[in-house]
Each structure stands twice: as C-alpha cells, then as structure tokens.
Amino acid sequence: MKIPRTLFAVAAAAFLTVASAFAGDPSGTWKWSVPGRDGQPRESVLKLTLADGKLSGTVTGRGGQELPISDASFADDAVKFTVAMTWGERSFSMKYDGKLEGDTITGTVERPDRDGGVRKMEWKAARAPAQ
C-alpha cells in the first residue's frame, strides 16, 4: 500500500509543478496608448511585480507622473487594479480589469466621465522587452 501512495504523491507534486510553470506571470513593464483629446496618442507605462501572490506596481501616464496601483490582484490570469489620479482640483479613480494571454493584457478600464457617469473603454497592453 505504501508504494501506490508514494507514487500518487510524486505524480501530484509533478502535476502541480508543471501547472505552475504554465501559469502566467504579469510581472514586467507593459505599454499601451490611447488617443488624446487632440487626436495624438498618449502612451502609458505599467510596471507590475507579482511576489508571494501579491500584485503591486505603478502606472506612468500624462506628465510622466508615476502613480501607485491599489486594490491589485492576479488570479487565473485575471489582472485587476485601481489607479487614483488628481487632475487640477478633481480626484478620481480608474479601474483596470484584464486577462493575461502571453505578452498581452486585454480588458477594460472604467473611469468617470464629465457628466458624473462612468465611461468604459477597451484596454490592451503589450509587454515591453526586458532591458
């Protein structure tokens, strides 16, 4: 009876090791652009780190200001985080929700619109090559 249990334990450990090797890792630098009001693209840079199951990072956008992300999570290749911003006298949050597939994160971002509602936009970031 000991041999089948040992064999099962070894097989289970091997399966978990292989499964974790194929799980995505969002760590790295991600870039995307959105059209500005003047029609010119505005590039954003997201730097993510996944350590001990916790996702953290920053977003650099308009004006080069680096902002920390909050409420960040990564599970089953789903990336979620919030960025708090201040524009003049106005403070607001943008909520990102995406799916990691290889070197691409595709999803949506929600932000307040000028009328007090919520605007939902498509979001697609590409992993920048390691430097």
Interval 30-50: pLDDT, tens: 999 987 778 888 899 999 999
CB-count burial class (<10 Å; 0-12, 13-18, 19+) for 74:
buried
Q: Are 40 and 33 in contact (CB under 8 A)?
A: no
Instruction: Specify whether the CB–CB gap between 44 and 29 falls below 8 A.
Output: no
Give the chain's domains with CATH numbers: 25-127 (2.40.128.30)
- Please state the φ and ψ torsions of residue 33, each to the nearest 5 degrees: -135, 150
The pTM score is 0.77
Which pLDDT tens digit goes with each residue over 42-97?
A: 899 999 999 999 999 999 977 788 999 999 999 999 999 999 988 788 888 999 99
Distance CA 117, CA 16 (A): 44
Which residues face 70 on adjacent strands? 82
**Distance separating alpha carbons of residues 125 and 96, to the nearest angstrom:** 11
β-bridge mates for residue 80, sequence order: 73, 97
| Both tokens assigned to 88 | 């003049």
- Asked if residue 10 has pLDDT above 60, the reply is no
